[in-house]
Amino acid sequence: MKIAVIGVTGMVGNVMLNVLKERNFPITEFIPVASERSVGKIISFKGESYTVTSLEDAVSKQPDIALFSAGGNTSLEWAPKFAEVGTTVIDNSSAWRMDLTKKLIVPEINATQLSKADKIIANPNCSTIQMVMVLAPLHKKYTIKRIVVSTYQSISGTGVKAVKQLENELTGVKGEMAYPYPIHRNAIPHCDVFEENGYTKEEMKLVRETQKILDDRTIAVTATAVRIPTSGGHSEAVNIEFENDFDINNVRQLLNNTSGIVIQDNIDTNTYPMPIYAEGKDDVFVGRIRRDGSQPNSLNLWIVSDNLRKGAATNAIQIAEYLIANDLI
Ligand code: 2RA
């Protein structure tokens, strides 16, 4: 496969290269692409050196697949240009996620929707991916009525500037600030920008993308997204109200038997998921599974996953793998 990675010098782009290598993705030609200011830079991939090229040049090479993680504006402008030359675009930005003509895919849940006609495919938001991975099997069995989710999000989701700000705060170095206040020893209830309704875009992604991926607009979702000083992954406290009652052991068994989910849940041994141990892994980790006795048919659980891997790079590459395996490219 001739594959282009757009945004190759960014945090997700870098993780994409690691995952492509780890999964031995079938690549016959690799095209690293970044913004004008990075064109000409030399990067290393699978032991070889490559020169970063421009979007114009990459389109002219007509790649089979283009993995985008370069922001929404770049995706809006360039994804159609790649699609026009026959490239299948898998885009990690929010640009195409809610477009009614585009598919929003978590392979374990809805890859079967995909067809050869899909030339621009949207990768969901990281905090959505880890949550719907757990919700999908539960929704299928018990029918979800309402979700209340609070997220505790890694600063790596903000970007390299925020990671650097935290490092500087820890080492006492004065440097550029991603936030106008400290990240260290703080919790910032502000991920992405605020919308008119007082919720942030991050919170509304959890609402809108969840309904689209589970293909059920009747699911009520409310979210609070918080940035915390960790870098390994996003954590989520999720409260689910079902239409139907459940047996807690059946819930565990169902999640345990779901591909991509690992249960870490034993209060006798203080076993539960934590981002510091999820970092670098592709699984979605679930723990603190317990009935919510405050209302019928309700469950609490804790979900943790590496936001740069299953939350971004790995999910996108799994979509590409699915397309290849099903002759859709
Ligand atoms: C965040 N979900 O964590 C977004 C991804 N950049 O800020």
ipTM value, please give it: 0.95
Tell me the torsion sign for CA atoms 168, 171, 172, 173: negative
Predicted pLDDT at 37: 96
Helices 314-325/11-22 angle, 10° precision: 40
Give this prediction's pTM.
Answer: 0.98
Chain segment 122-144, per-residue pLDDT in tens: 999 999 999 999 999 999 999 99
The two three-digit tokens of residue 312, written as one number: 């971004």
317 Cα–ligand 1 center, Å: 18
Q: Are 315 and 123 in contact (CB under 8 A)?
A: yes
Domain 2-123+312-325 matches domain 127-307 at the CATH topology level: no
Provide mean pLDDT across the span 187-207: 97
Q: Whose CA is nearest to atom 6 of ligand 1?
A: 157
Please provide the average confidence, as pLDDT, over all residues in the chain. Answer: 97
Predicted pLDDT at 211: 98
Q: Which sequence positions are flagged as catalytic?
A: 126, 234
201 Cα–ligand 1 center, Å: 10
Chain segment 141-171, per-residue pLDDT in tens: 999 999 999 999 999 999 999 999 999 999 9
Q: Whose CA is nearest to atom 4 of ligand 1?
A: 157
Percent of the chain with pLDDT over 90: 99
Q: Are 209 and 106 in contact (CB under 8 A)?
A: no
Chain segment 271-306, per-residue pLDDT in tens: 999 999 999 999 999 999 999 999 999 999 999 999
Predicted pLDDT at 197: 98
Tell me the torsion sign for CA atoms 197, 203, 207, 209: positive
Which CATH number is 127-307 given? 3.30.360.10
Q: How confident is the model at residue 69 (pLDDT cuts 50, 70, 90)?
A: very high
Q: SS3 for 276? A: helix
Predicted pLDDT at 74: 98
Chain segment 18-64, per-residue pLDDT in tens: 999 999 999 999 999 999 999 999 999 999 999 999 999 999 999 99
295 Cα–ligand 1 center, Å: 32
**Domain boundaries defined on the chain:** 2-123+312-325, 127-307
Predicted pLDDT at 213: 98
With vertex at residue 111, the alpha carbon angle to CA 218 and CA 192, rounded to the nearest 5 degrees, is: 60
Q: Find the radius of gyration of the CA atoms of the chain.
A: 20
* Closest by CA position to 295, among listed 245, 251, 236: 245
Q: Are 172 and 324 in contact (CB under 8 A)?
A: no
Q: Are 99 and 75 in contact (CB under 8 A)?
A: no
Report d(CA 163, CA 283) in Å as an integer. Answer: 23
The secondary element (H helix, E strand) that includes residue 113 is none
The two three-digit tokens of residue 72, written as one number: 């929404």
CA 322 to chain centre: 17
Predicted pLDDT at 231: 83
For a ligand 1 pocket test, name from 127, 155, 205, 234 the mutation site with the most ligand atoms within 8 angstroms of its C-beta.
127
Q: SS3 for 305? A: strand
Q: Are 203 and 223 in contact (CB under 8 A)?
A: yes
Q: Whose CA is nearest to atom 3 of ligand 1?
A: 157
Ligand 1 pocket list (CB less than 6 A) = 125-127, 153, 157-158, 191-192, 202, 307
The secondary element (H helix, E strand) that includes residue 226 is strand 220-227
Known binding positions for NADP(+): 9-12, 37-38, 156-157, 307
Domain 2-123+312-325 is found in CATH 3.40.50.720: yes
165 Cα–ligand 1 center, Å: 16
